[in-house]
A and B are shown apart, each in its own frame.
Chain A
């Protein structure tokens, strides 16, 4: 049997899972590379739609299409005052925890996630002097917009797909980054008008168990997470644009010298000529690279700053600096919570004893502390 034939029996598409990331890892496993020569590809990526740039048909128009006529400076000032008056939290009463029902946490609970912005990378050092590269995530002003109970969510088109053969769960709609309502259309602002919130730039859905439901207008801060827990970060990868075959698929290309004419970064052969006599769908070629949705799972939280709502996460996160990411409690079974986290979310204690401003992981060396402890 030819190598290709053997490969085809090994990689029967019907046996393989449909998950794209798993396929990629299989392609790169050392077991396979032994069988693959430089020019024989495993074509399981055929016709997979990796990205789209248009918004969903169900979404209402978000940004205003028309530019305002010149409004006088007086009127602009007046409108700013009206916005501040309307959205300022005017209630003289303290926001009490008692409004939220006290529900029990159990290991099967799925808590809400958080919308954050990746603001770059920083290094931390552990007590042995080893460098740990961390990504700094700034938890934006998250507010709960609404909670959709499981029975209702299953009836929506998205929910029906999500819970086709599983027990339905609820959906929490969270928004982040409050902005001037004049920038958005009226339909978009109405999504927030019912709760009396300023329209948010980013919206996100988090699938949660009903016991982790939160009422609208609840703020979610960095305290929602614990130092030392593992999180999954979901984001859109860095957009590399149209890339060649060497960067995109890791091809070796050709020799830099020794008489090679115009063959340094090219793909080489794209088919056999005999078998099937055509280019097979899914052949690795140059094309658009990046701007795909990915999860980085099991990242450990090294440090949380409660004052500035910043989380330091070990490792890297999909996407470029200043892009929006979503952070969830991890799905990885061995890194899940063993004890109850702040459930359903973190609320600053009423008696004023705040948590410390900066919480570090135990094995980290805290900047500013003496290097030798006596």
Chain B
């Protein structure tokens, strides 16, 4: 019975993919159901990928730490993550690492290392300018992701919320962005609404979820996101751009799963102060949620943060989502 129900759903959504999707109602309970379904697919795929490793092989990880000191760590191939390496070093490094640099390439902290490499763990205050900009982008990207996660669960049961996508991280624009479709025609959020969304954001972030990364086949991804029309459209394009031609990267944070290409920060505990600056209506019910946030390690006074908030209120010039209907 479940199989037929899913088949029906996928044909139903594909039929309507070319029309304005405002008529599909996704009540809140449905969102929890959807999330539960996605998580089960994610877990299944994760277990399957773990089982592909026949036996544990060892790799040598050359960790470059403070003052260019190098240590060699013997870790498990395909299983150990940079976070596990950090656990061998110190609690401070473990808690403050945002993202890793594996052989010069930016790497998620909870992503398994496939072979011998040099490892660097970057914190929120790196010395190098180039490293700092990479960390900044990662942070911005993660905040966009989190904004989507929070917005999906923020609305009342009778309003349908469909996440569209978020543009690549651009710190210079002044805000991180998520484009969402709502079944509201002319919604002008009040100050209280902004505060409420920000409060939900803070609450979610304080639960210290880690970002779990998974590379999945596009067919699995389509099954996962069959109820979200926009994502279902985007998955084939994303898959063709990937290195193997068929994989899509998804991240899981708490109960939420979303598609994203780039690396994310280690855990939500690294996000500190945040505020939702503005919601701009793009067109045909697509709203651009904009926010600004600071890492928990960095503290600036309220006046300086106020300047950042004022800047974040301007409409972000990032690419707007195009609807096939228009």
Cβ-neighbour of A79 out of B297, B299, B307 (below 8 A): B307
Further contacts, 7 of them, CB under 8 A, given A68-B304, A185-B302: A69-B297, A69-B300, A71-B304, A82-B307, A83-B303, A182-B301, A182-B304
In chain B between 290 and 316, which residues have their CB closer than 8 angstroms to a CB of chain A? 297-304, 307
User: Which chain B residue lies CB-closest to A83?
Assistant: B303
Interface of B, secondary structure class, is loop
Q: Which 9 A-B pairs have the closest CB atoms?
A: A186-B302, A182-B301, A181-B303, A182-B303, A69-B298, A69-B299, A66-B299, A68-B301, A68-B300
Contact residues in B for A71 (Cβ distance below 8 Å): 300, 304
CB-defined A-B contacts under 8 Å, sample of 20: A64-B301, A66-B299, A67-B299, A68-B300, A69-B297, A69-B298, A69-B299, A71-B300, A71-B304, A75-B304, A79-B303, A82-B307, A181-B302, A181-B303, A182-B301, A182-B302, A182-B304, A185-B302, A189-B302, A189-B303
A194 nearest CB across to chain B (Å)? 15
Which A residues lie within 8 Å of B302 (CB)? 181-182, 185-186, 189
Q: In the complex, what distance in Å separates the CA atom of A66 from the CA atom of B298? A: 11
**C-alpha gap A64/B302 in the complex (Å):** 9
Residue among A68, A69, A79, A83 with the highest chain B CB neighbour number at 10 A: A69
* A182: chain B residues within 8 A (beta carbon): 301-304
B194 to chain A: closest CB distance in Å?
Answer: 16
A67 to B300, CA, bound (A): 8
CB under 8 Å from chain B, chain A span 53-99: 64, 66-69, 71, 75, 79, 82-83
- Chain B residue numbers with a CB within 8 Å of A66 are 299
B298 touches A79 (CB 8 A): no
Closest to A199 in B: B303
How many angstroms between the C-alpha atoms of A79 and B303 in the bound complex?
Answer: 9
Please name all residues of chain B whose beta carbon is closer than 8 Å to the beta carbon of A79 when the two chains form the complex.
Answer: 303-304, 307
- Identify which of B297, B300, B301, B303 gathers the most chain A CB atoms within 10 Å of its CB: B301
Q: Could you tell me the distance between the alpha carbons of A185 and B302 in the complex, rounded to whole angstroms?
A: 7
Report A-chain residues with C-beta under 8 Å of the C-beta of B303: 79, 83, 181-182, 189
Give the CA-CA distance A64 to B301 in the complex, in Å. Answer: 8
- Which partner residue on chain A sits nearest B304 by CB separation? A79
Chain A residues with Cβ below 8 Å from B299 are 66-69
The distance in angstroms between the C-alpha atoms of A71 and B303, with both chains bound, is 13
How far is A75 from B303 in the complex, measured between Cα atoms in Å?
13
A348 → chain B closest CB, angstroms: 32
Residues on A with C-beta less than 8 A from B307 are 79, 82
Taken together as a complex, chains A and B put the C-alpha atoms of A185 and B299 apart, in Å, by 13
Residues of A within 8 A of B298 (CB): 69
Nearest opposing residue in chain B for A79, CB measure: B304
* Bound-complex Cα distance A371 to B303 (A): 57
- Chain A residues whose CB sits within 8 angstroms of the CB of B301 once the complex forms: 64, 68, 182
- Note all chain B residues with C-beta closer than 8 A to A68: 299-301, 304
CA distance A258 to B297 in the complex (A): 71
The complex places the Cα of A82 from the Cα of B302 at a distance, in Å, of 14
Taking the nearest CB of chain A, how far is it from the CB of B314, in angstroms?
A: 15
Cα distance, A182 to B301, chains bound together (Å)? 6
How far does the Cβ of A27 sit from chain B's closest Cβ, in whole Å? 51
Instruction: Report the nearest A residue to B301, measured CB to CB.
Output: A182
In the complex, the chain B residue whose C-beta lies closest to that of A185 is B302
Residues of B within 8 A of A186 (CB): 302
| Nearest-CB residue, chain B, relative to A70 | B125
Q: How far is the CB of A188 from chain B (nearest CB, A)?
A: 10
- Which residues from A are CB-within-8-Å of B300? 68-69, 71
Q: How far is the CB of B189 from chain A (nearest CB, A)?
A: 21
CB distance from B299 to the nearest CB of A (A): 5
Q: Give the CA-CA distance A71 to B298 in the complex, in Å.
A: 10
Chain A's closest residue to B305 (CB) is A186
